[in-house]
Structure 1
């Protein structure tokens, strides 16, 4: 249910990646983007399990289809539709912004396939880094500035959250709690409902039937609370649908594309 892969197998949003260098980018500055044009048309954003409690107040949280599902925050129910930003990529209303979005244009990546070492990289097409007169300096006397150190720490925390998310998903699969999702929404004036598929969700019936020891383990490691956040968030599907109707963006296709 994720958006189509970026060119050259780059992650969502990223059009190119360049390692941040104290030599090549010694005089570069970072400035905030006025808008997030890269969000326009992106309906599903990767989410870490650490963010479920904050995100469930604003977005439906689902899991991508396939054998290796990942959590996704739905900003629209159809591919190419984002109800939370306008056509210029500016947020329509104040909402929780997923860390995956806040990380851009930076990213920790392996420069060598056989190495486990991660290097701080950035997307040079973002327009956020360059030889600007204003903005935060990235290097001071050849050393990372406080701003760069903060970015690196944020990216490291994101990677660690990603590892916790992987363990969360393994626990869901181990308990056999995931099922193919389907949501039917009836629009006033239409004879047939809109039926959305192509994602996964927690099966509430299986959750109720869990053995006591398994349920106790999920409660003790905090996973049960995350499951409830996911289930509560699904009520927001109808609100996102209503925003799509309001904006006049209702394509005929109601299949949420599989990852």
Structure 2
């Protein structure tokens, strides 16, 4: 259900990556878009620890399986199902949108594998940036970055900093051996057997209760325990998301896990 959402070479949602520069993109503008068709089929969205408290009100927060788990906000329980975005790509109700979504079509990345600095990149296939008549200019007549570009860059920088804090959080969880293979069984009325969801990781609450007192105190002071609790509390929303799928007609037809 919650394997890390990624493509072989490009991050989730990105079809291509190009460095933004004043020479090639002097006349480019950034504009708002009313729909996000690239989001309609995405059920698991990468999340940073800075967003746990807000996101846990709307989505279950789990961790991807594999050697390098990532926090994920589940907008649906099954592949290709997003219960908050319609087929037209429009968000159907007011919910918290993870920074990973709001960052697109921009991101910071290395231009070369051996590079030490990150450059501002964008997806040239996105309808949110290009040579449009409307929208906010990315560069002025002299080729200098505008306030729009500076805001985009600042947002991407904050995202990268959040990603580093997220990795530090995950290192703490792994060092304490708190991550376990997750499983959630949901019984649907009229079905003989429950729907069982696996393929993700979650905090082992039994091991959490057995943590040494000094570590618990340290995690309380650092705020890390608050993040763990946000994750645990959010798991109750698995049944809420499943109910949304039933209502929308996207729930699995037979007893099967995604």
Q: Is TM (by shorter chain) over 0.5? A: yes
Deviation at 1:4, TM superposition (A): 5.3
Aligned to 2:217: 216
Aligned length: 255
Calculate the TM-score normalised by the size of structure 1: 0.96
Alignment of 1:110-149 (within 5 A): 110-140=110-140, 141-149=142-150
Separation (CA, whole Å) in 1 of partners of 2:255 and 2:63: 19
Runs (4+) of structure 1 exceeding 4 A deviation are none
What are structure 1's unaligned runs of at least 5 residues? Answer: none
Is 1:26 matched up with 2:26?
yes
- 1:43·1:81 contact (CA, 8 Å) conserved in 2? yes
Aligned to 1:246: 247
Aligned to 1:255: 257
Separation (CA, whole Å) in 2 of partners of 1:12 and 1:254: 25
- 2:41·2:81 contact (CA, 8 Å) conserved in 1? yes
How has the CA–CA distance of structure 1 residues 70 and 151 changed in structure 2, closer, same or farther, with 3 Å as cutoff? same
Separation (CA, whole Å) in 2 of partners of 1:255 and 1:49: 27
Aligned to 2:100: 100
Deviation at 1:3, TM superposition (A): 5.9
Separation (CA, whole Å) in 2 of partners of 1:21 and 1:210: 50
Deviation at 1:253, TM superposition (A): 7.2
What secondary structure does 2:113 align onto? Answer: coil
Alignment of 1:175-254 (within 5 A): 175-251=176-252, 252=254, 254=256
Q: 1:163-197: CA deviations, max 9, x gaps?
A: 00000000001111111110000001111100000
Deviation at 1:255, TM superposition (A): 3.2
Calculate the TM-score normalised by the size of structure 2: 0.96
What secondary structure does 2:119 align onto? Answer: strand
- 2:194·2:255 contact (CA, 8 Å) conserved in 1? no
Deviation at 1:5, TM superposition (A): 3.1
Q: 1:43-77: CA deviations, max 9, x gaps?
A: 00000000000000000000001121000000000
What secondary structure does 2:219 align onto? Answer: helix
What secondary structure does 1:107 align onto? Answer: strand
- 1:3·1:42 contact (CA, 8 Å) conserved in 2? no
Q: 1:11-60: CA deviations, max 9, x gaps?
A: 00000011101010001111011111110111000000000000000000
Separation (CA, whole Å) in 1 of partners of 2:221 and 2:64: 26
Separation (CA, whole Å) in 2 of partners of 1:137 and 1:169: 39
What are structure 2's unaligned runs of at least 5 residues? Answer: none
Separation (CA, whole Å) in 1 of partners of 2:184 and 2:85: 23
